[in-house]
Amino acid sequence: MTRFTRLLRLLLALACLAAGSHGASAAGAQAAAGVVAADVALESDAGRTRFRITLSREVAVQTHVMERPDRLIVDLPEVTFHLPPESGRKPSGLVSSYRYGLFAPGRSRVVMDLAQPATVSAIRTEPGAFAGAVVLVIELTRTDRDTFRKAAALNASAAQAQPGEGGGAAQAAQDRRPVIVIDPGHGGIDPGANALTGAYEKDIVLGFARSLKKQLEAKGLYRVVLTRDQDVFVSLGDRVRAARAARADLFISIHADSISGGQEVRGLTVYTGSERASDADSAQLADRENRADAAAGVDAGDGADEVSDILQDLTLRETRSFSHRFAGSLVGELVSVARLNKNPRREAGFRVLRAYDVPSVLVELGYLSSRQDLDLLMSEEWRGKATAAMAVAVDRFFATRLARQGAAAVLP
């Protein structure tokens, strides 16, 4: 990429941000524009690799390394990334790949997967091609396993995730309506699966979750909470904690799968939680989803269930019975409006389904690797039909409770 092209991209990115802040005061315009990343590159030689990213202004940087898998984490203030879509996919020297995005409100993150143990040997800035712009250079140097392990242990506390939006959603004391927590999968630095068109799972499921929330709120029967309502990373543990903090009566996690290798697989699938997966494909999917925290540079811990005594175990059994009942109702309502997978009801050990006292399901809307599924997922008409069918399943799940509260007349 030429210097002129990099300069042009930076100018265009700044112009877009400036247009978005039209009408802001002169004093606040620069703050509204924020920081833009306009170019990125990897350079490698003699056991060293330099990560070079062009920013619209200098920023504070924090780095740390993590094991299992080996990663370098780079934390930045919130950055708008205007980078080529192929950025981060090609290995170079000590870096096998990298990804970037919003990690939490006001914070962005770059996660580099390391081909070999390495630590940061230098961080510096160089003049950019545009007045005020800088090139942030992070240099990695190869090291031995023992040194890397010590560095990872020393920095472990720096990789904790921030709670999502739902974390403070405590149930209002006087509001007796059922609480439904909708969980759009992935987000921020964790894009999820890639669609054939280059679209990301995180964006598709967020749009679907917002539509479902609108459908449910229109009834006036429920309080609905999203674990995230923007393109921000939320750890798996924080998603579960959000549901429990909201005292959720139902948790619905929304995802979309993808299959590589030319397999023609499509259709919607509804999962419930189980220590033993119903089939090998479900086990592999749960394993991929459970690695989302590691992909974002978060220590996921051992992921153990919160069940610690016989009372909680009994509650878990009852909760899973409710989860199975809702999952069956969901499949029954969706069969007329959605293409279902050949085996639409499955079980697996998803970490987001581990709240022992909250009935929970995970809905894989379809396969982004299937052109037919993708066309449906991108269709506003189909999304309206699918969310309406899911809302009917929710009504049926809460029919008895709503009837006791005098709401039976509005049920289908």
- Tell me how far apart the alpha carbons of residues 89 and 131 are, in angstroms, rounded to a whole number: 30
Residues 124 and 192 in one domain: no
Note whether 174 and 331 are within 8 A (CB): no
290 neighbors 397 (Cβ within 8 angstroms): no
Beta-carbon contacts of residue 13 (< 8 Å; ≥ 6 apart): 36, 38, 56, 80, 82
Task: Count CB neighbours of 337 within 10 A.
Answer: 16
Q: How confident is the model at residue 22 (pLDDT cuts 50, 70, 90)?
A: very low
Domain boundary among 107, 122, 156: 156
In which residue are the tokens 């006001």 written?
Answer: 106
Q: CA separation (Å) from 267 to 283, 335, 339?
A: 18, 10, 5
Same-domain status, 95 and 238: no
Q: How far is 80 from 77, CA to CA, in rounded Å?
A: 10
CA distance 295 to 188: 11
Sign for the pseudo-dihedral over CA of 246, 250, 254, 259: positive
CA distances from 355 to 69, 178, 227, 271, 305 (A): 27, 17, 14, 14, 8
Q: pLDDT tens digit string along 235-250?
A: 999 999 999 889 999 9
Rounded-to-10 torsion of CA 15, 20, 21, 22: 90
- 148's enclosing H/E stretch is helix 145-154
For residue 286, the cross-strand partners are none
Both 132 and 12 in a single domain?
Answer: yes
Backbone φ/ψ region at 291: left (φ over 0), alpha (ψ -120 to 50), beta: alpha
What was the pLDDT predicted at 125?
93
pLDDT digits (tens, 9 = 90+) for 152-207: 887 664 444 344 444 333 444 467 899 999 999 999 999 999 887 888 999 999 99
Helix (H) or strand (E) holding 11: helix 3-20
Residue 190 is given by DSSP the state B
Number of domains in the chain: 2
**pLDDT-above-90 percentage for the chain:** 61
Answer yes or no: is 361 within a domain: yes
pLDDT, mean over the chain? 84
For position 7, what pLDDT does the model report?
52
Distance of alpha carbon 78 from alpha carbon 112, whole angstroms = 18
User: pLDDT digit string (tens) for 60-109?
Assistant: 999 999 988 899 999 999 999 989 888 998 999 999 999 999 888 888 99
Q: Do 247 and 385 sit in the same domain of this protein?
A: yes
The answer to whether residues 86 and 208 belong to one domain is: no
pLDDT in tens, 250-298: 999 999 998 876 567 899 999 999 989 999 999 999 998 988 888 788 8
Which tokens hold the place of 2?
């030429």
Give the integer Cα–Cα distance in Å for 345 and 411: 25
pLDDT of residue 36: 92
Contact assessment for residue 316 and residue 307, using Cβ atoms and an 8 Å cutoff: yes
Considering the domain boundaries, does residue 19 fall inside one? yes
- What is the C-alpha to C-alpha distance for residues 397 and 375, in angstroms, rounded to an integer? 30
Q: What are phi and psi of 294, to 5 degrees?
A: -65, -35
> For 114-118, what is the mean pLDDT?
95
- The answer to whether residue 163 sits within a structural domain is no
95-104/107-114 β-pairing: antiparallel
Q: What's 291's domain CATH number?
A: 3.40.630.40
Domain residues for the domain of 70 are 3-156
For the cut 90, the answer to whether the pLDDT of residue 402 exceeds it is no
Whether 199 and 344 share a structural domain: yes
Let me know whether 152 and 237 are in one domain: no
CATH number at residue 147: 2.60.40.3500
What is the amino acid identity at position 109? R
Q: Could you tell me if residue 161 is inside a domain?
A: no
Nearest partner of 84 among 196, 158, 6, 170, judged by Cα? 6
C-alpha 228: how far from chain center: 9
Kindly state the greatest CA–CA separation across the chain.
74
Asked whether the predicted pLDDT for residue 27 surpasses 60, the reply is no
Residue 165 included in any domain = no
Measured in whole angstroms, how far is the alpha carbon of residue 147 from the centre of its chain? Answer: 32
